[in-house]
Amino acid sequence: MFSVGEYVVHRSNGICRITKVAPLPAEMGGNDKDYYFLTPLNSRGEVFTPAEEDNNNIRKVMTKKEAMKLIEQIPYIEDTPIDNDKLREAHYKEAIRSNDCTELVKIIKTLYSRRQARFAVGKKSTASEERYFKQAEDSLYNELAFATGKDKDNVKELFAEKAKME
């Protein structure tokens, strides 16, 4: 269980600070279950999610050591080319929902490769691929920046260098 003041990664809202743990107010359909009330770092407002052990909506923010290890592994993480358009999009969607940093690395590398291949034959990336690419980048780079204490742009440059995406 997480504590008030702790930072977590929310599947849809990125890094959030837990501001309280309490049941939902009656006007929000409250019951006896506790919820985490979260304040996202990169947006306004408040979100909430059940404070249950098997809550897949949130996880701990990676430590600096874990972030550095992931950064060092970037060159060895393979992209995941999928030929079928529908299967590819479903894979991207599931990888984003998984809230797994290694999966985000795979998406970024895969979509970068696809973008380069399409560009080489005079085509642009599809709108959905650009959307998934941006979501994966935002999620991963924000967490790596938070964990390492670096600026997001520095993390992006480091990623590109490690993934050989110059």
78 pLDDT higher than 70: yes
Range of lowest pLDDT (31-35, 100-104, 127-131, 133-137)? 31-35
The topology (CATH level 3) of 7-60 is Thrombin, subunit H (2.40.10)
| pLDDT classification of 166: cutoffs 50, 70, 90 | low
d(CA 153, CA 37): 29
Measure the CA–CA gap between 145 and 147, rounded to whole angstroms: 6
23 against 63, higher pLDDT: 63
Q: What is the pLDDT of residues 4-30, one digit of tens each?
A: 999 999 988 999 999 999 988 777 766
CA–CA separation, 67 vs 74, rounded Å? 11
CATH architecture of residue range(s) 64-162? Up-down Bundle (1.20)
Percentage of the chain modeled with pLDDT above 70:
98
The reply to whether 7-60 and 64-162 are identical in fold is: no
Confidence label for 59 from pLDDT (cuts 50, 70 and 90): very high
- The domain limits of the chain are 7-60, 64-162
CA distances 99 to 5, 28, 84, 96, Å, are 21, 26, 23, 6
* Cα–Cα distance measured from residue 139 to residue 95, given in angstroms and rounded to the nearest whole number: 12
Structure tokens at 40: 């996202």
